[in-house]
Amino acid sequence: MINKIWFFLIGCGLIYGVFKGIDMGSVFLNSAGEAYSLLVTMVPLIVLWCGIMNIASESGLLHKFSSLLRPFLRKLMPSVKNDKALDYVSSNVAANMLGLGSAATPFGLKAMKELDKENKNKGVATDAMITFLVLNTSGVTIIPMTVIALRMAYQSINPTCIIIPSLIATFISSFSGLLIDYCIRRKNAK
């Protein structure tokens, strides 16, 4: 997939650009410099945020947060009887909400493994797995730090002004995803 996209963007761009008489050679060379100036601003901020978030995860705050989410998740995934699976699911969702993407993935993979233990039909996704995926991919992130860092790299006057609008949009996305999932499950159960 990624191969096709990369080839498509570069192939189409180069052919069309050369055809239109644009100096594509310098576009090629300039992207390196552009990537550099971008990363110089973004990397330190993201590294800084990882440091802060590590305090949250090692002081037990992340754990506390995920146990607050548990009752809510139990209602969302009524078919899950396995407590360990629910533990991993809530850790994954909590880590995603705090923007700890790299910490979230191992929890997510473990959660899937636990959910698969309840799966009677191996190779076919269960309802709970799908609900979990919807939660994961449409999940609310409280602080979109990468976007803020990128805005800073382009000298935004107010890089953080997107926090609340993003929260509203991402909340609507999660809510509608879960609602659709719930409707499909109810329809299938009939």
Partner 1 sequence: MLNNYIIPFIVLFIISYGFFKKCDIYDRFIAGAFDGLKIVLDIIPAILAMILAVNIFVDSGLLLDLFKGSKYAEIFPMIFLRPISGNAALAYLSQVYATHGPDSFLGFLASIIQGATDTTIYVLALYFSSIKIKNSRYALWVGLAADFFGILAAFIVVHFFF
Is the CB of 43 or the CB of 68 nearer to partner 1? 43
Other CB atoms within a 10 A radius of the CB of residue 126 amount to 17
User: Minimum Å distance from CB 6 to partner 1?
Assistant: 5
Provide, rounded to whole angstroms, the least separation between the CB of residue 83 and partner 1.
19
d(Cα 54, Cα 101) in Å, to the nearest integer?
A: 12
* H or E stretch covering 190: none
On whether the CB atoms of residues 120 and 127 are closer than 8 A, the answer is no
Token code pair at residue 48: 């800084």
User: Would you say 51 or 81 has its CB closer to partner 1?
Assistant: 51
Residue 77 Cβ vs partner 1, minimum distance, rounded to whole Å = 14
Residue closer to partner 1 by CB (options 82, 130) is: 130
Rg of the chain on CA atoms, in Å: 21
